[in-house]
Each structure stands twice: as C-alpha cells, then as structure tokens.
C-alpha cells in the first residue's frame, strides 16, 4: 500500500491560498483515480485499490500528527505533497529526502517520523524569489492572482499526473521525467 499525504489547511478561508496547493493536487488525483474522501481521526482519506490519499485536518504546522493514524508503512511507500514558495508557479521537484527548507508542514512530518528521510513532491507556488519572515507568511497564506488562478487547474492536473507516475513507477522515474521537462 502506498500513501500520498497532501499538505494544506482545512477551512474555506484557506481554500484559495498558496499553502493549500497540496490539498488541491490531492483533489485532482482523487478525481483521476475515481475515489471519494471520507473523514477519519484527524485527516480525510480517499482509498484506492493500492493507495491511500490523505489530507491532514490539523492545520499545516501539525501535519505530521496524521501519520500516527496511518497503518504501518515503509518510507518508500510514502510521498508528501507540499507547496514551495521558492519555486516558480507549477514547477515540480521530487526529492527522496532533505531538509524542511523552512516549511512548517515538512518540519511537522519530520518530527513525526523522527528524521528528514521521506519522499516529497514540492509544487511551486511562488516566483522563485527568496521570501522570508512576515512577507513569507503573507505570501503562503495569500491568494493567487487572477492570472495565476486561470493556470491552476492545468497545473494541479499535471501535478496529479506526476503523483500517479510516482504510484506506478517510483521516485527515480519521476525525478528523471519531471526534472528534465520542468526546468
């Protein structure tokens, strides 16, 4: 069984924000797989034949709490899907491990797992410029521009396809495929 954990914040007020890109990619993948969301302890789950799609409902900073409610899994069966303000809009970056890079959701995942050795897909929600402090908080919790909103359905769809490729072919395949076409 494989587990894809899509990070975001619950609630209508957060739905259109950059920080919820993970949730939106999860929604797009659920449609592609023909699965529906159901409520569990502190997360939503959409179960497929060979995978679970998970959306923690604990807010971004506590995302790792949902992991303790999942059945036992191996690290190579887990993919965390997260927004990345340092990457241009729609850019995809698969990583086998690495630091949280200042992302509180990834920090929570690492704390729950005990280290940074987990696979992740970073989805660009910024312009690639380094943003720090108060400006960063305003950016990640800010809404997309009207022009960006027009692009989002196709970008989320492409990211969902990348997640499906991870399910079928693994992380190395995805790194080779998406890093070369998404530079």
Averaged pLDDT, 166-183? 88
Averaged pLDDT, 136-159? 85
**Percentage of the chain surpassing pLDDT 70?**
90
Q: Give the pLDDT confidence score for residue 57 in this predicted structure.
A: 95
What are the structural domains, with CATH classification, of the chain? 2-181 (3.40.50.1470)
pTM of the model: 0.93
Distances (CA, A) of 134 to 19, 57, 75, 138: 15, 24, 34, 6
Reduced to 3 states (helix: H, G, I; strand: E, B; else coil), residue 86 is strand
Angstrom distance (rounded) from CA 111 to CA 75: 14
Q: Give the pLDDT confidence score for residue 135 in this predicted structure.
A: 53
Tokens found for residue 50: 């060979």
Please enumerate in sequence order all residues whose Cβ is within 8 A of that of 27, keeping only pairs 6 or more positions apart, or say none.
156
Q: Residues of 134-159 as b/e, b for ≥16 C-beta within 10 angstroms?
A: eebeebbeeebeeeeeeebeebbebb
Residues annotated as part of the active site? 19
Q: Give the pLDDT confidence score for residue 69 in this predicted structure.
A: 86
Averaged pLDDT, 168-174? 97
């Amino acid at each position: 069984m494989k587990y894809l954990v899509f990070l975001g914040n619950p609630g209508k007020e957060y739905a259109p924000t950059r920080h919820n890109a993970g949730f939106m990619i999860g929604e797009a993948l659920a449609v592609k797989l023909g699965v529906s969301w159901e409520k569990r302890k502190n997360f939503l789950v959409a179960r497929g034949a060979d995978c679970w799609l998970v959306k923690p409902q604990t807010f971004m900073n506590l995302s790792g709490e949902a992991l303790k409610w999942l059945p036992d899994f191996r690290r190579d069966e887990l993919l965390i899907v997260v927004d990345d303000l340092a990457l241009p809009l729609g850019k995809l970056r698969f990583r086998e491990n690495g630091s949280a890079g200042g992302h509180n959701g990834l920090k929570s995942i690492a704390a729950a797992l005990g280290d940074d050795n987990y696979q992740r897909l970073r989805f660009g929600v910024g312009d690639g410029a380094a943003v720090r402090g108060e400006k960063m908080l305003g950016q990640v919790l800010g809404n997309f521009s009207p022009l960006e909103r027009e692009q989002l359905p196709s970008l989320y769809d492409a990211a969902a396809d990348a997640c499906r490729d991870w399910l079928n072919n693994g992380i190395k395949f995805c790194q080779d495929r998406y890093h070369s076409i998404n530079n």
